[in-house]
Amino acid sequence: MRRSLFEFIYKLRNILAQKFKQYNTNLPYILTVIIALIIVIVGTNLFIELTDTLESETLSSWDTAITDYVLSYRNPVLTKYFMFVTDVGDLYGYLIVLGIFFGVSFFVFKKWKYVLQTTLVLALASVSNVILKRFIDRARPSIEHLVSVETLSYPSGHAMSAMAFYGFLIYLFTQFKMNRFLKIASITILTILLLSIGISRIYLGVHFPSDIAGGFIAGFIWVIFCILLFNIIELFKKDPQTKA
């Protein structure tokens, strides 16, 4: 995957270099970043356009059906589990996981940049979530809430942040050179945790399923953008043509 991404970036850079070689060797990379940013903006606009369906009867019936199905499994054991994972998807949960990941990055992989990258992805998702919620202004479900909430509903901040944070961690683990069993186990645990955080918000009664879907989509946009951006920066540093 990473090799294919590198090849794509190189091809795009070479195309731009042929067009702008008379200016600056750094310009093709700058333009590539701008193009990546445009892709995210277009994706975000598409996401916002899709929110027009939030008031539709079809989506409302799907939200109700999925919510009723999830709530039908409420029991003391699952309630404790989903309250735990929803806390993992909150501020203090991320601080703890970041601390653990910092130790792994620094002492095992000898690179602390992974922590900075993951923190940046999470920050971008969190800030944009606040903006999107204020813009869309969707109220929470009127059913019983098992946890207290104060913000608006769409898109789910927990789902968006979880996709950005744990989704980017999953990407990093696919790139790490490590024991195959540990890699598969780590990716599996992160995937289960990511999905559980999303489901927990429905189970606890504080989000519609469409809130979770919207949060996952928006968070995934940031993951893709940051993967492209970080790889462009890495290639930029390695490219001898930029060592002027």
pLDDT in tens, 100-151: 888 877 777 777 788 888 888 888 888 888 888 887 777 788 887 888 777 7
Give pLDDT, residue 191.
Answer: 94
Give pLDDT, residue 23.
Answer: 47
Question: Does position 58 have pLDDT exceeding 50, yes or no?
Answer: yes
At 174, list the tokens. 């696919």
Give pLDDT, residue 1.
Answer: 47
The stretch 195-211 carries a mean pLDDT of 91
* Distance from C-alpha of 93 to C-alpha of 74, rounded to nearest angstrom: 23
Cα of 217 vs its chain's centroid, Å? 8
Question: Does position 167 have pLDDT exceeding 80, yes or no?
Answer: yes
Check residues 138 and 209 and name the one with the higher pLDDT.
Answer: 209
* Banded model confidence at residue 174, pLDDT cuts 50, 70, 90: confident
The stretch 63-88 carries a mean pLDDT of 91
Give pLDDT, residue 78.
Answer: 93
* Distance from C-alpha of 122 to C-alpha of 161, rounded to nearest angstrom: 6
Report yes or no: 97 and 88 within 8 Å, Cβ to Cβ: yes
The stretch 24-37 carries a mean pLDDT of 59
Average pLDDT, the chain: 79
At 155, list the tokens. 């898109």
Runs of H (alpha helix) within the chain: 2-20, 27-50, 57-71, 76-88, 91-107, 113-136, 157-175, 180-203, 209-238
Q: CA triplet 201, 207, 213: central angle to 5 degrees? A: 85
DSSP character at residue 75: -
For the chain, state the CA radius of gyration: 20
Question: Does position 54 have pLDDT exceeding 70, yes or no?
Answer: no
Give pLDDT, residue 195.
Answer: 94
pTM as predicted: 0.76
The stretch 7-17 carries a mean pLDDT of 56
* Distance from C-alpha of 114 to C-alpha of 200, rounded to nearest angstrom: 28
Range with the poorest average pLDDT among 21-35, 64-78, 126-140, 221-235: 21-35
The stretch 3-9 carries a mean pLDDT of 54
In angstroms, how far apart are the furthest CA atoms of the chain?
68
Find the helix packing angle between 57-71 and 209-238, rounded to 10°: 100
Mention every residue, 6+ apart, whose C-beta is less than 8 A from residue 62.
209, 210
DSSP character at residue 207: -
Give pLDDT, residue 243.
Answer: 53
207: nearest Cα among 112, 106, 129, 120: 129
